[in-house]
Amino acid sequence: MARLLGGIEAGGTKFVCAVGEASGKVTARVKFPTTTPEATLAQVFAFFDQYEVAAIGVGSFGPIDIEPQSATYGYITDTPKLAWKNFDFLGALKVHYPAVKFVWTTDVNVAAYGEYLQGAGVGKQNICYVTVGTGIGVGYISHGKLYSGRSHPEAGHIMMHRAADDDFVGVCPYHGDCLEGIAAGPAIERRNGKKGHEIAPDDPFWQIEAYYLAQACMTYTLTFSPDLIVFGGGVSKQAQLFPLIRAEFAKLMHDYVRVPDLELYIQHVKLGDDAGITGSLLVAADAVK
């Protein structure tokens, strides 16, 4: 019988834990809010204690330390969620499950990997996954491998060319009006006085949002040269954004580099909200192959 695999999608607002198969198929899952590390991990253990898994893929909110030689490898590092700052997340999991193999990466990376193998990225080698939700995060897969440098990309914090007459100051505690600071969910709520899903699809605000996301697509195109840019996260559920982003992207790029047809090049996730948990099972599957 094939061995059971585990996945943890550890988000800043909610955790999803699942067990499933190497195909990425989920056979059981639970979802609960992210509270303190102790209380949240108690729920993680309560779930996985019911199963015997060979490996668990962990996609964590961050920033996290993914440098194996580092003294704080496996830690969540600089998060504004203070209870989790400098928390040895991977260490706590390993103490509870000493026989289990762990794959440790970001929540964005597992979602990128899920979309790469089973979503919009099927058949592609180089995909840039961008989540626009509570924050903006980027996972890049280059020739089938998750890219990292010294650490994982933090490409949601790039600086932007401001739209004409847009003087919104931005909400990023580190940079103010970086991309995340002006275009993620909390920024949308602050500038409009209501949440993204409450704003009409034809509201002129979406043009501004699209302008910033198109600049991001331009930067990622010029730096990574992907086959495909896939958007996930709550804000990307606004389908009217996609034609606007493609049109702004075309204007900004002036055909400087060749990219595929924009309908194919800039897409919404195919796995929807399951990209992350599917990807966490798939990275676990790779670890025991």
H/E segment holding residue 179 = helix 179-183
- To the nearest whole angstrom, how small is the minimum distance from the Cβ of residue 193 to ligand ADP? 13
Q: Which residue has the tokens 């990425």?
A: 24
Residue 283: exposure state from Cβ atoms within 10 A (0-12, 13-18, ≥19):
buried
Q: Which does 157 bind (CB under 5 to 8 A by kind): Zn ion, ligand ADP, none?
A: Zn ion
The number of residues in the chain equals: 289
Question: Do 22 and 278 touch, CB atoms closer than 8 A?
Answer: no
233 belongs to the binding site for ligand ADP (CB under 6 A): yes
DSSP strand pairing (136-142 vs 127-132): antiparallel
Total binding residues toward ligand ADP, as defined by CB under 6 A: 16
Which one of residues 94, 175, 237, 268 is an interface residue with Zn ion (CB under 5 A)?
A: 175
Q: How far is the CB of 186 from ligand ADP (least distance, A)?
A: 5
20 binds ligand ADP (CB under 6 A): no
- In the list 18, 100, 172, 283, the residue contacting Zn ion (rule: CB under 5 A) is 172
Q: Could you tell me what percentage of the chain is helix, strand and coil, using 3-state DSSP and rounding each to the nearest 5?
A: 40, 25, 40
Residue type, 177: D
Stretch that binds ligand ADP, among 9-17, 98-106, 108-116, 143-151 (CB under 6 A): 9-17
Which of 175, 237, 268, 270: binder of ligand ADP (CB under 6 A)? 237
CA distances from 101 to 98, 104, 181, 276, 289 (A): 8, 10, 36, 19, 12
* Contacting range for Zn ion; rule: CB under 5 A; set: 81-89, 105-113, 164-172, 229-237: 164-172
Q: Is 234 in the site for ligand ADP (CB under 6 A)?
A: yes
Would you say 32 and 15 are in contact if contact means Cβ atoms under 8 Å apart?
yes
DSSP conformation letters of 232-284: ESGGGG-TTHHHHHHHHHHHHHTT-S----HHHHEEE-SSGGGHHHHHHHHHH
Please report, as residue ranges, which positions from 108 to 147 form the binding site for ligand ADP (by CB under 6 A): 133-134
| Partner that binds at residue 234, options ligand ADP, Zn ion, none, CB closer than 5 to 8 Å by kind | ligand ADP
Binders of ligand ADP among residues 189 to 218 (CB under 6 A) are 189, 195-197
CA distance 153 to 174: 16
Neighbours of 9 (CB within 10 A): 29
Q: Does 185 engage in binding with ligand ADP (CB under 6 A)?
A: yes
Q: Is 18 in the site for Zn ion (CB under 5 A)?
A: no
> Which segment (21-29, 135-143, 179-187, 189-197) binds Zn ion by CB under 5 A?
179-187
Nearest-angstrom CA–CA distance, 241 and 235: 9
Q: Which of the choices ligand ADP, Zn ion, none does residue 133 contact, using the CB cut-off of 5 to 8 A by kind?
A: ligand ADP
> If contact means CB under 5 to 8 A according to the sort of partner, which of ligand ADP, Zn ion, none does residue 237 touch?
ligand ADP
Using CB positions, name the residue nearest to ligand ADP: 185
- Residues making contact with ligand ADP (CB under 6 A): 11-13, 133-134, 185-186, 189, 195-197, 233-235, 237-238
